Amino acid sequence: MIRELSSISDGVTYDFVIVGAGGAGMAAALFAAIAEKSVLLVERTEYLGGTTALSAATTWIPNSRHATKVSQDDSPERATLFLDRVVGNYGRREMRQAFLESGPMAIDTLEDHSDVHFRPYATHPDYEQEAEGATLRGRALEPLPFDGRKLGAAFDLLRPPIPEFTIFGGMMVDRTDIGHLLGLKKGLASFRHAVGILGRYGLDRLTKKRGTRLVMGNALIGRLLASLLKRDVDILVKTEVTGLLKDSSGITGLTLVRDGQTRRINARLAVISAAGGFNRSPAKRAEMLHQPVSMLSPAAPGHTGAMQDLALDLGAHYGTGSRDNAFWAPVSTRKRADGTTAVFPHFVMDRGKPGTVCVNQAGRRFVNEATSYHNFVRTMYDTNGQSPCIPAYIIADAIALQKYGLGMVRLGTKNLKPYLDDGYLIEGANIPELAAKLGVGVAALEATVADMNRYAETGVDLEFGRGSTGYHRANGDATAGGKNPNLGPIATAPYYAVKLFPGDIGAATGLATDEWAQVLGAEERPIGRLYACGNEAQSIMGGTYPGPGITIGPAITFAWRAVQHAIGAAK
């Protein structure tokens, strides 16, 4: 139940105390509750869900019970080979093996004992398709949509989605919904689906600030919360952890503060830290991220590294050897009406679509636009010294803008004036005018566009191979009629651009842990009864980004493993 700190007795004992109510922490709390243990879940912000609530909540778990519904060609051996090829020595192989072994069991536990349910994407490829063992489908799961009305008053505790990812001021939509909305007039199935979700949203707004039909990250968090409430897990919000309690055997509990009230809470079996990592800490960003340091992140605000600092003070340490300390995505920014700044991640809706190109400040391409968002930003940093590309520019012609949108300018937008007036969207009547407004070389940009138009004619990108993998093509537009779903002419005036900056979507470097999520201290020995999972722990992917959902899949898996170890069920 949702509790006030003042209602909890000082010195009370729980079997598990979990810090951080994002996907990792809520999963850990649910696994402990399923094991019939007493659980306290502590969240420092006013909302539950963390960054998971803001995400698509794609969950990468190879060889789950759902995989064979869409694919028959995967196996543990193939998944092992794939991760060995992509991650290699950037991460510890035994951690990856623990994940591959336990991931399906974690999903089974949720599916069999809670309201958390998934389905496989029909096609959702691993990002690194060139690597041996890659698949096009079966490993990426998505949470089933959820009816937020089932949460009652607790619905208002869910972290709302990024406003720019909703439509009509608060209606959540996923890929399936977008397809039906675009096909509203093209088929009966799409018409029924679109009318159904639009009607539902209209009814919701009679009594709610936003829609209660939850998809993607809100659906996963809603399902986790519904399951926790059914099992009477105690949940605190707006509550700070101010210290960890310790004796000679390890961590024994922690101290909590809210509104001047302090409580000592004992943990009989475990304290599990799932507070999201450091990526909202300006100091740690300056210390651990690439130069020039970006301060842009669409992640949830509670990830300040405060719990990590408490663990570090007791002898824990950060993991080492990662390729990157954060997971990257190119972002654009815009001031909202309320004065806050929207940080919008450019995942798959515009980059790599026909009729678009990304250029550096010289007006030249520097990257395969259809590559993963993580690799896109890595390339921004890698090439910035050769020719500045921070910021870079994503460019689209008039047709592409209307068909696919451009960042916060949604597809089909008729009134572009607000975006043009505040400078988010830059318009040129022709390529030379656009180049002048961007401050890039006119001849260079004209040559870049001419090259892209030739590639669109032949279907072959001679510079970067855009559209050459299944991952690229899945995020293109096969209905556009071109020879390559990622390539199309940039030929219809006016032309538009949006500035792209490096941004991160979470920390990749975290506390060093063992295969059972135990936090490691001096001489790599576990600190008794202290566990970490999610972005609070060192990523098993070593700062690489092999596929969709490679943060949430391991977060859920190591939450399961932490609980199994703490209750003595580890094998």
Q: How far is CA 386 from the centre of its chain?
A: 30
Q: Tokens standing for 439? A: 């401050």
Q: Tokens standing for 125? A: 């490829």
Q: What percent of the chain lies above the pLDDT cut of 90? A: 88
Tell me which of 504, 522, 539 is where a domain ends.
Answer: 504
Query: Strand pairing partners for 41?
Result: 18, 235
| pLDDT of 40 | 98
Are 393 and 498 contained in the same domain? Answer: yes
Are 370 and 513 contained in the same domain? Answer: no
Which of 365, 360, 329 lies closest to 344, judged by CA? 329
Helix (H, G, I), strand (E, B) or coil at 383: helix
For CA atoms 343, 220, 107, 532, the dihedral sign is positive
Report if residue 309 sits inside a domain: no
| pLDDT of 515 | 98
Report if residue 149 sits inside a domain: no
CA distance 25 to 430: 51
Report if residue 91 sits inside a domain: yes
> Is residue 543 very low, low, confident or very high in pLDDT (cuts 50, 70, 90)?
very high
Are 240 and 91 contained in the same domain? Answer: yes
Amino acid at 191: F
Tell me which of 504, 520, 536 is where a domain ends.
Answer: 504
| pLDDT of 386 | 87
Region 219-223 average pLDDT: 98
Report if residue 301 sits inside a domain: no
Region 296-318 average pLDDT: 95
| Side-chain-facing half-sphere of 564: CA atoms under 13 Å | 18
> Tens digit of pLDDT for each residue in 334-379?
999 999 999 999 999 999 999 999 999 999 999 999 999 999 999 9
Query: Strand pairing partners for 327?
Result: 506
75 Cβ contact list (under 8 Å, min separation 6): 63
CA distance 102 to 108: 10
Tell me which of 488, 504, 520 is where a domain ends.
Answer: 504
69 Cβ contact list (under 8 Å, min separation 6): 119, 120
Whether 179 shows a pLDDT value over 80: the answer reads no
CA distance 293 to 491: 36
Are 517 and 527 contained in the same domain? Answer: yes
Are 241 and 132 contained in the same domain? Answer: yes
Are 491 and 559 contained in the same domain? Answer: no
CA distance 425 to 422: 8
Residue 468: which CATH number? 3.90.700.10
| Side-chain-facing half-sphere of 415: CA atoms under 13 Å | 2
Judge contact between 356 and 411, C-beta under 8 A.
no
> Tens digit of pLDDT for each residue in 263-301?
999 999 999 999 999 999 999 999 999 999 989 999 999
Are 334 and 421 contained in the same domain? Answer: yes
Are 407 and 493 contained in the same domain? Answer: yes
Are 79 and 173 contained in the same domain? Answer: no
Residue 67: which CATH number? 3.50.50.60
The residue among 404 and 176 whose pLDDT is bigger is 404
CA distance 243 to 282: 22
CA distance 207 to 411: 29
For residue 184, what are the domain limits? Answer: 160-215
Q: Give the chain's domain count.
A: 3
CA distance 24 to 531: 12
Are 138 and 259 contained in the same domain? Answer: yes
Report if residue 526 sits inside a domain: yes
Report if residue 49 sits inside a domain: yes
- Give the other-Cβ count within 10 Å of 544's Cβ: 24
Which of 507, 506, 511, 514 lies closest to 558, judged by CA? 514
CA distance 215 to 144: 7
Which of 209, 186, 212, 217 lies closest to 199, judged by CA? 212
| pLDDT of 4 | 96
Amino acid at 460: V
For CA atoms 66, 67, 71, 72, the dihedral sign is negative
Burial letters for 318-352: b for 16+ Cβ neighbours within 10 Å, e otherwise? bbeebbbbbbbbbbbbbeeeeeeebbbbbbbbbbb
Q: What is the DSSP string of 92-157?
A: -HHHHHHHHHHHHHHHHHHHHHSS--EEE-SS---S-TTSTT--SSSSEEEEPPEEGGGGGGGGGG
| pLDDT of 170 | 84
CA distance 131 to 295: 32
Report if residue 73 sits inside a domain: yes
Query: Strand pairing partners for 143?
Result: 118
Are 267 and 336 contained in the same domain? Answer: no
Judge contact between 251 and 16, C-beta under 8 A.
no
Report if residue 196 sits inside a domain: yes
> Is residue 88 very low, low, confident or very high in pLDDT (cuts 50, 70, 90)?
very high
| Side-chain-facing half-sphere of 258: CA atoms under 13 Å | 16
Which of 290, 277, 368 lies closest to 50, judged by CA? 277
Judge contact between 368 and 464, C-beta under 8 A.
yes
> Tens digit of pLDDT for each residue in 46-74?
999 999 999 999 999 999 999 999 999 99
Whether 201 shows a pLDDT value over 90: the answer reads no
Are 167 and 55 contained in the same domain? Answer: no
Region 464-492 average pLDDT: 96
